Amino acid sequence: MPGTTIGINMTYGYPGQASRQGDEVSRTRPVAAGATDIPFGAPVVQKDDGSVALFGATNTAADFAGIAMRKVKSAKVYPYQNFGYYTAGEPCDVLQRGGISATCAWGTPKVGAKVYVRTKIVGGTSPAGAKVGDLGAVNEAGNCIELTGVKWSSTADVRSVAELTIVTRQGV
């Protein structure tokens, strides 16, 4: 009788999952009223009223407040519990410093490499399926910005999930 093994490929977990304990600094902030849903593992900005929103096309590196964490919450749709999101008015856990799993939407992340966030989509230049707010590993000049104080800390697994480290505390 042949033996089988479940989980023979090591992955980096799910987007938004804190990956290193001990150096984690996080805050809980409400998602801004009327804001777009914030997926686990997505970059966020903090608004003047203290609420957070998904990183958008007009945001700058100085606006970056952290990464939305995957914390225990009720699932909106049963099969998608590990790829959840925060909706307007919900409390959103934001990692301000430390290690976290996130999806690398383009490029190949390397340990110590820069992290970029997409601010614009250009046909023929941006990868298929690209979205504003995606995190990546290659400077697509004019279409993304570098997040200061943030580095990739692993390569990507088969699902394009990689670990990144926020070295310098973000947000308030």
- In a structure prediction context, what are the per-residue pLDDT tens digits for the chain, which is 172 residues long? 455 556 666 788 889 999 888 888 999 999 999 999 999 999 999 999 999 999 999 999 999 999 999 987 655 655 555 568 899 999 999 999 999 999 999 999 999 999 999 999 988 778 888 899 999 999 988 899 999 999 999 999 999 999 999 999 987 7
Q: Between β-strands 38-39 and 85-86, what pairing exists: parallel, antiparallel or unpaired?
A: antiparallel
Per the document, the length of the chain is 172
pTM score: 0.89
> CB of 106 within 8 A of CB of 138?
yes
Calculate ∠ Cα 157-163-168, nearest 5°. Answer: 165
Measured distance between the N- and C-terminal CA atoms of the chain, rounded to whole angstroms: 58
> CB of 117 within 8 A of CB of 135?
yes
